[in-house]
Structure 1
């Protein structure tokens, strides 16, 4: 079996001084760029999920390990049931639930603090295809949310979560401070910052 393979000659790299990055291969992104440019597409990147029965501190640790601030919560059979964010776990929602239900933190589960899918809204992938990044920024700012879910319809007309847009990803790609999106008094102020380059 091994005789079908061959050694590949390694090359010297003493004269190499540059690292390639994806950003060098893409056109610069602006508020007028296609909104799909800032979506994390689950057709190519696996969503980070967790069982809704997981203890909240374990969920927070999983977020840290995966470098995300939102997890997709799943029910026993692996179906989508909602989302939980770091803000949900570290905020007042936990304390409120603990006091109301007489639970200690060690017994708090993702399902106790997550936003159930019936409470969530999303954009359709089709809407996103006809939108610009500026439209998404305005939508994020008006909603006060840090994430927007994107849905589409798959085979047999099954609705599914297609992707997610994160405010932190948008600000990173536009090279502006994350807080500017939420603290700016107007959208024109955001436009000025983006145009000046941060």
Structure 2
């Protein structure tokens, strides 16, 4: 049964003293780093999806288990129809819908409070390929978006969502909260915040 596999010879580690960290391999990301560094590319990582019929609290649990703050909503034919974020579920949107429609919170489904794809803004893969993290940060700061989808064209000109960029991923990569960046008045101040690990 296991004939195609082989035992590997394990090594003694008593003479190993050091741990490698990513900063020793890659230069730390900055505002001038390529925007592609913060894009979740669906060629490499599958999008986390949810049915519009799922209850909002179940959707929130699904987000937590997948370590994401946004889900792509698909219909019964797996077509992209919108997105829902943790903020949508945890905020006032769900209760407002429940009250307006005279139903309990437990009856509110993803499709009731999601953002339909016609409401979602995106960037093309070409734009992102030619941009820096600073460009993305400025764009998202200006629009107030926490997530931006990235669109490209497949065979025969079929448009598809190629990936997503999230404010939280940018914050994590630069080790600076987006809220602190919003307080900065100039790009020079933002660069100073990044250089000093979140302090002005």
TM-score, normalised by the number of residues in structure 1: 0.92
Partners of 1:125 and 1:38 in 2: how far apart? Answer: 13
Deviation at 1:130, TM superposition (A): 1.1
Partners of 1:72 and 1:32 in 2: how far apart? Answer: 29
Deviation digits for residues 35-56 of structure 1 (CA, Å, limit 9, x no counterpart)? 1111111110111111111000
8 A contact 1:35–1:136 mirrored in 2: yes
Decide whether aligned partners of structure 1 residues 152 and 14 sit closer, same or farther in structure 2, where only a CA change above 3 A counts. Answer: same
Deviation digits for residues 106-131 of structure 1 (CA, Å, limit 9, x no counterpart)? 11000011100011110000001111
Equivalences for residues 74-113 of structure 1 within 5 A: 74-113=74-113
Match of 1:120 in 2: 120
Decide whether aligned partners of structure 1 residues 5 and 80 sit closer, same or farther in structure 2, where only a CA change above 3 A counts. Answer: closer
8 A contact 1:31–1:133 mirrored in 2: yes
Deviation at 1:21, TM superposition (A): 4.1
TM-score, normalised by the number of residues in structure 2: 0.91
8 A contact 1:59–1:110 mirrored in 2: yes
8 A contact 2:181–2:193 mirrored in 1: no
Number of aligned residue pairs: 198
Any idea what SS the aligned residue of 1:160 has? strand
Match of 1:172 in 2: 172
Match of 2:13 in 1: 13
| CA RMSD of superposed structures (Å) | 1.7
Partners of 2:107 and 2:30 in 1: how far apart? Answer: 45
Any idea what SS the aligned residue of 1:10 has? coil
Deviating runs (4+, > 4 A) in structure 1? 1-5
Partners of 1:88 and 1:114 in 2: how far apart? Answer: 8
8 A contact 2:49–2:73 mirrored in 1: yes
8 A contact 1:144–1:182 mirrored in 2: no
Decide whether aligned partners of structure 1 residues 108 and 12 sit closer, same or farther in structure 2, where only a CA change above 3 A counts. Answer: same
Deviation digits for residues 67-106 of structure 1 (CA, Å, limit 9, x no counterpart)? 1110011111111110000000011111211122112111
Deviates further, 188-197 or 65-74 = 188-197
Any idea what SS the aligned residue of 1:151 has? strand
Deviation at 1:2, TM superposition (A): 4.6
Decide whether aligned partners of structure 1 residues 112 and 187 sit closer, same or farther in structure 2, where only a CA change above 3 A counts. Answer: farther
Decide whether aligned partners of structure 1 residues 5 and 47 sit closer, same or farther in structure 2, where only a CA change above 3 A counts. Answer: closer
